[in-house]
Amino acid sequence: MISNYKIIQRNLTIVLVLILILVCSIVPVQAQQDSDTDSMPDSWETTNGLDANNSADADNDTDADGLTNKEEYDNGTDPNDPDTDGDGMPDGWEVQYGLDPNDETDVEEDPDKDGFNNLDEYKRNGDPKDPRKPAGGAESDDDKEEKGMSSLDTSPFCLLLLIPGIVILLVIIFVYTKMRRERLLEHKVRGDIFAHINKNPGVHYRGIMNELGLHMGTLTHHLNMLETQRYIKSYQDGMYRRFYPIDHKIGTGLILTEIQHKILQAIHDSPGLSQVEIAGKVNQNRKIVHYHVKLLSDAGFVHVEQAGRESRCYYAGGLRMGG
What are the pLDDT digits (tens) for 165-196? 787 877 777 665 655 666 778 889 999 999 99
In this prediction, residue 230 carries a pLDDT of 87
In this prediction, residue 318 carries a pLDDT of 63
The mean pLDDT of the chain is 79
Q: If 0-12 CB within 10 Å is exposed, 13-18 middle and 19+ buried, where does residue 215 land?
A: exposed
Count the alpha carbons within 13 Å of 93 in the hemisphere toward its beta carbon: 23
DSSP letter, residue 41: -
Q: Is 82 in contact with 95 (CB distance < 8 Å)?
A: no
**Closest alpha carbon to 178 in 230, 219, 222:** 230
**Closest alpha carbon to 96 in 74, 129, 64:** 129
Percent of the chain predicted with pLDDT > 70: 76
Q: What is the pTM of this model?
A: 0.36
Task: State the average pLDDT over residues 233-250.
Answer: 77
What are the pLDDT digits (tens) for 117-140? 888 888 888 888 887 765 555 444
Q: Is 81 in contact with 89 (CB distance < 8 Å)?
A: no
- Taken in order 138, 140, 143, 149, the sign of the CA dihedral is positive
Amino acid letter at 313?
Answer: C
Sorted by where each starts, the structural domains of the chain and their CATH numbers stand as 187-245 (1.10.10.10), 258-315 (1.10.10.10)
Q: Is 104 in contact with 91 (CB distance < 8 Å)?
A: no
Query: In Å, what is the CA distance from 129 to each residue of 117, 122, 141, 187, 320?
Result: 10, 11, 17, 71, 95
Task: State the average pLDDT over residues 109-124.
Answer: 84
pLDDT band with cut points at 50, 70 and 90 for residue 201 = confident
pLDDT band with cut points at 50, 70 and 90 for residue 254 = very low
Percent of the chain predicted with pLDDT > 90: 20
Give the span between the Cα atoms of 50 and 69, in whole angstroms.
9
In this prediction, residue 282 carries a pLDDT of 93
Q: Which residue has the higher pLDDT, 152 or 304?
A: 304
What are the pLDDT digits (tens) for 32-89? 788 888 889 989 889 999 998 998 888 998 888 888 988 999 999 999 988 898 888 8
